[in-house]
């Protein structure tokens, strides 16, 4: 499984950085986890064949995880994509997104490929025959509870636990992407035996991350979504020295073979 960080920025805009978007590639197929602002530019810059991208998952619809979607659809159209595309969203938001896109002059009838919106599920399922995924709920959106009744918005966000199934001599591999969290404890139950952990640093403190992950044997840890006003390097150096942790900072275009 090959992971590409297409967008590593936090929610705060930064020159030359795209917002959250991660590609997971197995064989000739790729899925995207979140599509924040700049995802289309970053994917175009990478030069990947857009037909590879079969499914897009959106953990929650904060703009820095979602607003790249219309530009991606337009980019796929420009690249003359013909392969159908599945986009998984919080179910409560599907109707609104379908109504919104035509106001950006994105009309399904003008596309040579079919794109459809499907509801997210918190049940474990097979993305492809050799790739299993569990989207686990997090409390990142709980502060909006009072608006849920007023506007009908979703208040559950999700993290991603992905497993490449062992076959043909390939060992099983496990990758977790936290997306946005309320507390680092929300990933604790899934850390055991991970080959790669990509964890956000915008809504949780680096000290708490190190404290929790140091109890587990994780082959590689990548910190992403780091606010520009945070200096996390002293703690990163500390974790490397004290726990011999393989811990690095994400950057746009970073590729990790898992």
Residues of the shown chain interacting with Zn ion in the complex, contacts defined by CB under 5 A: 62, 180
Task: Answer for the pair 180, 155: CB distance below 8 angstroms, yes or no.
Answer: no
- Residue (77 or 139) nearer to Zn ion, CB: 139
- Residue (204 or 206) nearer to Zn ion, CB: 204
In whole angstroms, the minimum distance from the beta carbon of 221 to Zn ion comes to 21
- Residue (180 or 220) nearer to Zn ion, CB: 180
- Residue (164 or 180) nearer to Zn ion, CB: 180
In whole angstroms, the minimum distance from the beta carbon of 69 to Zn ion comes to 15
Classify 220 as helix, strand or coil.
strand
In whole angstroms, the minimum distance from the beta carbon of 215 to Zn ion comes to 26
In whole angstroms, the minimum distance from the beta carbon of 250 to Zn ion comes to 16
- Residue (180 or 186) nearer to Zn ion, CB: 180
Mention every residue, 6+ apart, whose C-beta is less than 8 A from residue 57.
Answer: 31, 32, 33, 34, 88, 120, 133, 135, 160
Residue 194 phi, psi (nearest 5): -75, 140
CA quadruple 23, 24, 29, 32: dihedral sign: negative
Task: Answer for the pair 36, 9: CB distance below 8 angstroms, yes or no.
Answer: yes
Task: Answer for the pair 179, 157: CB distance below 8 angstroms, yes or no.
Answer: yes
In whole angstroms, the minimum distance from the beta carbon of 239 to Zn ion comes to 25
């Amino acid at each position: 499984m090959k992971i590409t960080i297409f967008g590593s920025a936090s929610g705060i805009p930064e020159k030359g950085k795209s917002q959250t978007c991660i590609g997971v590639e197995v064989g000739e197929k790729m899925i995207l986890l979140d599509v924040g602002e700049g995802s289309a530019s970053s994917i175009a810059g990478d030069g990947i064949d857009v037909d590879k991208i079969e499914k897009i998952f959106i953990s929650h619809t904060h703009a820095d995880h979602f607003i790249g979607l219309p530009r991606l659809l337009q980019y796929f159209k420009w690249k003359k994509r013909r392969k159908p595309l599945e986009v998984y969203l919080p179910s409560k938001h599907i109707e609104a997104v379908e109504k919104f896109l035509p106001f950006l002059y994105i009309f399904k009838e003008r596309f040579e490929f079919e794109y459809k919106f499907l509801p997210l599920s918190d049940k474990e399922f097979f993305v492809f025959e050799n790739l299993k995924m569990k989207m686990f709920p997090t409390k990142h959106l709980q502060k909006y509870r009072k608006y849920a009744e007023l506007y009908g918005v979703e208040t559950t966000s999700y993290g991603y636990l992905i497993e490449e199934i062992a076959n043909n001599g390939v060992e099983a591999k496990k990758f977790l992407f936290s997306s946005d969290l309320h507390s680092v404890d929300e990933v604790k139950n899934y850390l055991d035996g991970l080959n790669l952990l990509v964890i956000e640093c915008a809504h949780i403190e680096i000290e708490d991350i190190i404290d929790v992950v140091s109890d587990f044997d994780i082959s590689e840890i990548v910190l992403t979504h780091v606010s520009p006003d945070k200096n996390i390097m002293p703690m990163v150096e500390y974790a490397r020295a004290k726990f011999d942790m393989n811990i690095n900072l994400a950057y746009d275009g970073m590729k990790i073979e898992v």
